[in-house]
Amino acid sequence: MANHGVLYVKQIAATNVDAWNRTAVSGSDIDDGYVFRLDSQSGSATALYSEVWTTTVPSSNGSTLNNLWMSSSRGVNILYTANGLAYKGLEDDPRNFYVVSGSMISAFKPQVGDIVEMTTDCISGSKASNTFINSADGVYQLAWGATQTSSALSFKYLGDDYLAIGNGKMTTQHVTTYKFVCLAN
């Protein structure tokens, strides 16, 4: 099974501003740390989805690589069964968590100065000597880059850290994470 992205919100403005927090639904599977547009509500007649926003993949065609929102479960792991049942808190490894298509997503709007930490599974490409991650055309993942992309959601790399994953034994597994500060959205 492939690992999924893990996002830790370190210091974000959305913690204190309700307007920068939304619930969304997507037609695609979404990992924590994925970014998307939230331009309209679902319009579904069912009570569950009447206030839920619909995700749109970022696109440079139409200049929509900015004003994006980021998926953030804030540590609630949910396992989905093949028949659609959801179980919370049964899995210790956050890399096994993602939101399946059609399920509700918690999202926040990154603001300049926000600090987040994420695993490499949240980001496309490779770090190498790159020091920025930017929104990219047609994908939910941020992409490594050598420079900040203009008119796009962009973060600057601050340093490495690690995620300790308990496995029920005396030892833990360490996974590298990257810390970023938001420069533009």
- pLDDT at residue 6, rounded to an integer: 84
How large is the average pLDDT for residues 37-63?
Answer: 77
Specify if 2 maps to a domain.
Answer: no
Whether residue 55 contacts residue 38, with contact meaning beta carbons closer than 8 Å, is answered with yes
Specify if 51 maps to a domain.
Answer: yes
- Of residues 129 and 62, the one with the higher pLDDT is 129
How large is the average pLDDT for residues 69-95?
Answer: 71
Show the beta-strand stretches assigned E in 13-153. Answer: 21-25, 35-41, 53-56, 69-71, 78-80, 86-88, 104-108, 115-119, 123-124, 132-134, 142-145
Q: How many domains does the chain have?
A: 1
Specify if 1 maps to a domain.
Answer: no
The domain in which residue 16 lies consists of: 7-184
- pLDDT at residue 144, rounded to an integer: 97
pTM: 0.86
Whether residue 79 contacts residue 87, with contact meaning beta carbons closer than 8 Å, is answered with yes
Whether the pLDDT of residue 47 is over 80: the answer is: no
Whether the pLDDT of residue 140 is over 90: the answer is: yes
